[in-house]
Amino acid sequence: MNNVKKMKNTNRSVLLGAAFLMATSAIGPGFLTQTTVFTETLLASFGFVILISIIIDIGAQTNIWRIIAISGKRAQDIANDVLPGLGYVLAFLVVIGGLAFNIGNIAGAGLGTNVLFGISPELGAGLSGLLAVGIFMVKEAGRAMDRFAQILGFVMIALTVYVMITAQPPVGEAVAKTFVPDTIDIFAIVTLVGGTVGGYITFAGGHRLIDAGMTGKRHLPQVTRSSIYAIGVASIMRVILFLAVLGVVSQGLALDPSNPPASVFQLAAGNIGYKIFGVVMWAAAVTSVVGAAYTSVSFIRSFSPVLEKYHRYLTIGFIVISTIVFISIGRPVLILVLVGSLNGLILPIALGVMLIAAHKKKIVGDYKHPLWMTIFGVVIVIAMSWMGGYTLLNGIPQLFK
């Protein structure tokens, strides 16, 4: 009896950890900036963008997590089963995307410590990198990572709630415009989807469940709930920040274009708000560092017994390289532009592969994937392919200006 209860508690802890790992991977420096800028532009109508993106996020993530769980394989191995060699292409895209964005995450951690303690961003980034490395030095690294993501996730949401309350947003208007917007911004919807389940992010939780052995038909209901819960956590943070920004701009206050999120916190709650921004930025950045490193390495560790054996050291090396690049040369803007464009192609490729795999018996056995989920997934693949291609074609020319 005690063993059954212990197993249930362990399963619940793993599912919660996977959900928070994915959610905090999504809530990074880019998440804070995108939400602030789009709210400033679209005002209360941004609520509609959030609503549609949540629906798309759930459709993409539940498809991917269920197929990973039922097959018991990571995304790159499923891709190689669908088309030999495709898994290596997917892994390449995820790893270079994860590495480039991790440089941005390290930069965000440095900015957060600069706001909090007045130390240089480079020193703050180095110390934050050491903390992230420390998590993977622990014997129970998976459990430590889960707990770290949960604690900082709760801290971010709680502090942003305080700022939202002080900003006194027009909640009634926000609710009304969520369902009847003045304008509909397609680009904003796709940007939010890419920032929540694009690139490596959606696989953070899915691959964590594989490592914890949460696979097979009997775990599908729990996996589905965990995938939706992860989107829920990220979306709660998005909505709270949206209302905080709306409260500030509705008062006619202008945001600082050089750092829009920081000015929201400061205008809403004064110097205390500015320090809160430092905590939120640091927490958002350092949890994304951990999530990006873990997930990127999870895409290559199955390719060789040697990589599998030393995957923890690969993860540490990933964080160290990201930190050294930022400290030595800063954020390589040109590389980030190109990689950001490539990143937009990861979700449609990966989701497309998963949908094909869902109907191959050699991968999923006698499992029958729901038709509505397949249709929903195909629609998302088409929409994100178009937008990813558009972003790629517009991103490459910027490198040669």
pLDDT at 359: 92
Q: Give me Rg for the CA atoms of the chain.
A: 20
* 166 in Cβ contact with 269 (< 8 Å): yes
CA-to-CA dists, residue 145 to 152, 269, 286, 314, 368, angstroms:
11, 31, 11, 16, 33
Lowest model confidence (mean pLDDT) among 166-180, 183-197, 302-316: 183-197
Residue 29's nearest CA partner among 212, 287, 364 is 287
pTM of the model: 0.88
**Is 328 a residue whose pLDDT tops 80?**
yes
Alpha-helical runs (H) found in 180-304: 186-197, 201-211, 220-250, 260-298
40 pLDDT band, cuts 50/70/90, is very high
pLDDT at 396: 58
**Is 274 a residue whose pLDDT tops 60?**
yes
Position 95: which residue type? V
Class of 1-400 per CATH?
mainly alpha
Q: Which two tokens stand for residue 228?
A: 């939706």
Q: φ, ψ for residue 113 (rounded to 5)? A: -70, -30
The whole-number average pLDDT for the span 287-307 is 92
Report the distance separating Cα 9 and Cα 15, nearest Å.
10
Report the distance separating Cα 113 and Cα 286, nearest Å.
11
pLDDT at 112: 93
| For the chain, counts of helices (H) and of strands (E) | 18, 0
